[in-house]
């Protein structure tokens, strides 16, 4: 948060001479108390100043916390992503289900022989196939996956806000984090709703909620 000139002046006065009343600060600035009331409120809310009834304002010494929106805009996919779990297009549905359990993930990314992203498998994709088919060890995953170019993905440099919006808009639980190599998309990470929840929690730590 950026302070204006008057707020900086107030901060200097309180640092030097606090505790000091609002009235006294106003006199020092040749202003009336009402004029500086919004500035004092902002400085107090942002954590620069503490206010005690009948004592006045004093410098908190605390580092002012960034606004929640500043903190959120600084959060990048690369700082919160998980390791991707990938399977080949030839994996059977049965093997993919086993893999999902072993790796403890909710989605698998499917890659071709050159390790380029070709599809996504969700829990329900696998469940659906299992309900309607008894030979899941014979069906390759490329038959049932959601495939390129319909895959929604993100890159490390994206903000978490952008990634969250994609997940909500498309009603999906995860995004592959990719690097575009020019001849295909290489999967380098996994961004999930759980990663977003962890990021949300870290904001609470920042703000000591």
Single out the segment in contact with ligand ADP by CB under 6 A; choices: 26-34, 35-43, 121-129, 177-185: 121-129
Instruction: Identify the residue among 9, 17, 89, 173 touching ligand ADP (CB under 6 A).
Output: 173
User: In the window 77-96, what residues touch ligand ADP (CB under 6 A)?
Assistant: none
Q: Which of 203, 122, 109 is nearest to 160 (CA)?
A: 203
What span, in angstroms and rounded, lies between the C-alpha atoms of 36 and 45? Answer: 14
Distances, alpha carbon 151 to alpha carbons 8, 21, 38, in Å:
50, 60, 49
Q: Does 175 bind ligand ADP (CB under 6 A)?
A: yes
Contact 161/77 with Cβ under 8 angstroms? no
Q: Does 122 bind ligand ADP (CB under 6 A)?
A: yes
Q: With respect to ligand ADP, which residue has the nearer C-beta, 169 or 208?
A: 169
**Are 169 and 186 within 8 A, CB to CB?**
no
Q: Which of residues 96-115 bind ligand ADP (CB under 6 A)?
A: 107
Residue number, 36 or 151, with CB nearest to ligand ADP? 151
Residue 172 touching ligand ADP (CB under 6 A): yes
User: Tokens 């107090």 identify what position?
Assistant: 44
């Amino acid at each position: 948060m950026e302070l204006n000139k008057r707020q900086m002046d107030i901060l200097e006065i309180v640092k030097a001479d606090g505790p000091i009343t609002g009235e006294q600060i106003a006199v020092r600035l040749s202003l009336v108390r009402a004029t500086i009331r919004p500035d004092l409120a902002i400085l107090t809310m942002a954590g620069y100043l503490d206010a005690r009834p009948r004592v006045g304002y004093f410098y908190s010494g605390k580092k002012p916390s960034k606004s929640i929106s500043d903190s959120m805009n600084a959060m990048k996919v690369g700082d919160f992503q998980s390791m991707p779990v990938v399977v080949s297009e030839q994996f059977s549905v049965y093997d993919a289900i086993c893999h999902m359990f072993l790796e403890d993930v909710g989605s698998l990314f499917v890659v071709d022989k050159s390790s380029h992203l070709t599809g996504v498998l969700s829990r329900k994709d696998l469940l659906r196939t299992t309900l309607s088919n008894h030979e899941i060890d014979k069906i390759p995953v490329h038959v049932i996956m959601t495939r390129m170019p319909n895959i929604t993905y993100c890159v490390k440099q994206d903000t978490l806000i952008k990634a969250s919006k994609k997940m909500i808009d498309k009603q999906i639980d995860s995004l592959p984090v990719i690097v575009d190599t020019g001849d295909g998309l290489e999967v380098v990470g996994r961004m999930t709703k759980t990663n977003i929840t962890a990021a949300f929690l870290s904001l609470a730590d920042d703000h000591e909620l």
